[in-house]
Amino acid sequence: MTVKQIKPTESELEILGILWDKGASTVREVHDILSATKEAGYTTTLKLMQIMHEKELLHRDTSSKTHIYSAAVSQEKTQQQLLNKMIDTVFGGSASRLVMQALGHHHSSEAELDKIREYLSAIEKQQKR
């Protein structure tokens, strides 16, 4: 069984992000959120969501007059696939180089650093089994 690769564009990721946060929505609702931060025409949003439905990135409920769209891909799976691709292409397959770059150029709070330490500890325990 092959795992379908999710390859959303930047604009598609913006729409997925809205649907992951807000849940099932109409094109108008998605468009209103998008247009608050960028120049976007309603018909462009509509067309993009129709294409995303064809690409199986979105589900579309047509049972009422106004179509309702929802994400057909999980946020976690999409993030994982995009991160794996970035690690392979940008960091030569090295997750540690990604982490070092992120931590070296981003101010992390004590709480974030504590979570990172806990995560690393859990990974070490798991690998010792």
The pLDDT tens digits for 68-86 are: 999 999 999 999 988 999 9
Strand partners, 58: 71
The pLDDT tens digits for 111-121 are: 988 998 999 89
Which of these, 5, 2, 32, lies nearest to 15 by C-alpha position?
32
- pLDDT bracket for residue 5 (50, 70, 90): low
The pLDDT tens digits for 20-39 are: 999 999 999 999 999 998 88
Mean pLDDT of the chain: 90
Which of these, 106, 108, 68, 25, lies nearest to 17 by C-alpha position?
25
The domains located in the chain, with CATH, are 10-71 (1.10.10.10), 75-128 (no CATH)
